[in-house]
Amino acid sequence: MKKHLILSAVLLLAGLAAFAQEYTISDDSVSVTIDSKARLTSLRSLSSGKDYAGGEGLWRIFYNNLKEKEIQVSSNEQQPSISMEGETICIDYPSLKCRGEELAFSLHLRVYIQDGQVRFDSALENNEPHTIIRELHYPLAGNLQIPSDYKMLTTHTGGQLFDDPVDMIVSNGNRFPYMTPAQKFRQYDVQYPRNLAANCFAFTGEKDGLYFGSHDLSFQETWHGFRVYPDENGDFKRIEAGFYKYPNCLTGGSWSCNANLVQPYDGDWKQTSRIYREWADTWWDHREPAGWVKRMTGWQRVIFKHQYGEYLFRYEDMPRRVKDAGRSVGANTLMLFGWWRDGMDHGNPDYYPDETQGGVQALKSAIASFREGGDRVILYYNGRLIDRESGFYRSGQGKEVCNHDNFGAEYTEHYKFTGEGTFLGYHDTRTFVVADTRSNVWKERLAQMADQAIGYGVDAVFYDQLGAAEEFPQWDLSGEFPVPNIYSGQDKSRILRTLRDKIKAANPEIGLGTEWLSDCTSQYCDFVHIVEFTALPESFPDWFRYTFPEVIFTDRTVRDDTDIERRVGNTLLKGLRNDIEVYRCRGLIDQTPHYQQYLAKVNEIRLRWPELLLEGRFTFDEGFSCSGKDLVARSYTCGDSIAVVVTTYADKARGRISVPGYELSGSAVIGDGAKASGRGQNASVSLGKYDIAVLVFKK
């Protein structure tokens, strides 16, 4: 009996030892430990000593069967087989358990370190009848140990920076209380390549941080997973971060991904840019923009005829009133909306010049007259929307090329613009279907638009809404379960490359632009029209400007005469171009006199040093030092010169800008009490709220 008890105790201890076993890998900069349940128990920066791991599971899966559309498989319910192959932790699940049943899903995870980056590879197979594996959330860093002074950096709209990550995620997760399982967690929904401009995020401090990257050459739809779970007291405080991929793996199928990584780093947020750009340089295909685009301060974005038939402007207004308004503020470029017969957001893609204004010849003449003296015209087309009233749709071609949902119905969008009444915008709106940019018919239609624009003698062709992954993608209904196209960002990238090559072959000085900022599509464009706000408290377009300084993109939503100094000053500070869209493109800037007067001052400074403020490289805070704690400064370099743009959000601020090895060669200020002076490598500035100083130094 005693022998049996001893043997049982030995076996129990051996089992506990096996259960408690941990697996550790490390290099000179990072150490990672995973326990026998595949929980991340340590993710340590060896330079700072910070350990970010919270001891929670690395993954979760969601699948469908014929009865339920979403069933979660948790890593906590599994017992993996874990082994070491050299310096790689191998985590294998020959099958998975869910709700007490065994599923013929196999999952294989590999964790290893490469050049300081912790890589998380995954592969799965689905041999379970009548199922589809929809989502794999991996890697996950649950109960993430983030220092209190860290900020959360996303690439939303080119960059956003949040002081309190937990509060931001919780507040966003509360926006839709009846549509989410808010009792379980709060989630911040962001997706690449749509509202996210690059496939990375970070938690960043002044001296170090934690970088998450999905360095994925397929540009597939990837959600950046930000969740906050309740702690033991029920308070939502436990943050989880990771990546969500969408295998859509049907029975008999397999899927793999080797794109995801996590990297503790030393330095400030700029190190995240360097990490991402080093990877992007392996595929980045940006060409030198047309020379006039690099010198463009911005554009007037003006609707000539609206979708409901109102004429806001006519062709004859282009070379006179419209041109004069732009020139009054130093903006000599017009983005021409609503120039066709049916009006803005109506009739797409049947873009026929308006015969009531003289048709093709009148439009070409107005464009030529506007361009006299060096002014520029960008011609607008929509790259994805098809009006169901258009001849193209009624001919059957529109139905042939449009996207369909998970039940085979056409997706529709409704643009609810109003006139001065109420019925129009609420009931009588235009209805559009969404083109599949993989369609050869649609590709040919987009090419025809380029030929048309070039024939009209314009300076650039603009394709609206081609810069981001499709919100309403085409679904494949041929299998047991419907599957969406999650590669629409890649599809749009390819068509923009084709259009760029076509346009540049005709004339290298003709520009190509699109809307929505995303790295995979902006690489083929001369300029990008941003889609959301760039001057919110959390806005940080500095990230994209620093990471991809060659990409030219705009501000947005300066539509009236309010809050001008702050918003327009932000555009100058961060090197954006001005999108002048007065009264939502229904007016001109001479109808907003304060905006007109202030932008004229800003552009006067830009055009004094265009080689720096328009064509120079955005270098954020490099090359200079700033002694004023309430001063905000950004630098631009070109050749042997550096410009420093300075402003403040305090009521008053003063300080010194020093540029070692350079001498002050010029300065300019905006603001009644603004002052700037100096000699040699030093300049002193004194500014009131939103005042601006621009200091130029030469070697």
Helix or strand run (H / E) with residue 585: none
Sign, CA torsion 191/194/199/203: negative
- Sequence-distant (6+) residues with CB within 8 A of 30 are 43, 44, 45, 46, 113, 116, 118, 263, 264
Is 608:668 a contact under the CB 8 Å cutoff? yes
pTM of the predicted model as reported, rounded to 2 decimal places: 0.95
Q: CA angle, corner 507, sides to 505 and 511, nearest 5?
A: 105
- In this prediction, residue 176 carries a pLDDT of 77
Is 40:59 a contact under the CB 8 Å cutoff? no
Amino acid at 696: V
DSSP readout, 6-54?
A: HHHHHHHHHHHHHHT-EEEEE-SSEEEEEETT-EEEEEEETTT--B---
Q: pLDDT of 546-571, one tens digit each?
A: 999 999 999 999 999 999 999 999 99
Q: CA angle, corner 139, sides to 137 and 144, nearest 5?
A: 105
Identify the segments of the chain with pLDDT beneath 50: 1-3, 5-18
d(CA 470, CA 610): 36
Tally of CA atoms within 13 A in the half-sphere of 312 that contains its CB: 24
Is 617:628 a contact under the CB 8 Å cutoff? no
**Considering just the CA atoms, what is the radius of gyration of the chain in Å?**
28
Helix or strand run (H / E) with residue 519: helix 519-522
Q: CA angle, corner 348, sides to 344 and 351, nearest 5?
A: 80
Domains of the chain: 22-280 (2.70.98.10), 298-383+439-608 (3.20.20.80), 617-698 (2.60.40.1180)
d(CA 235, CA 233): 6
Tokens of 689: 């709220």
Is 196:216 a contact under the CB 8 Å cutoff? no
DSSP readout, 234-247?
A: S-EEEEEEEEEE--
Q: pLDDT of 484-539, one tens digit each?
A: 999 999 999 999 999 999 999 999 999 999 999 999 999 999 999 999 999 999 99
d(CA 248, CA 60): 14
- In this prediction, residue 178 carries a pLDDT of 80
Q: pLDDT of 161-176, one tens digit each?
A: 999 999 999 999 888 7
Per the listing, tokens 């308004």 go with 325
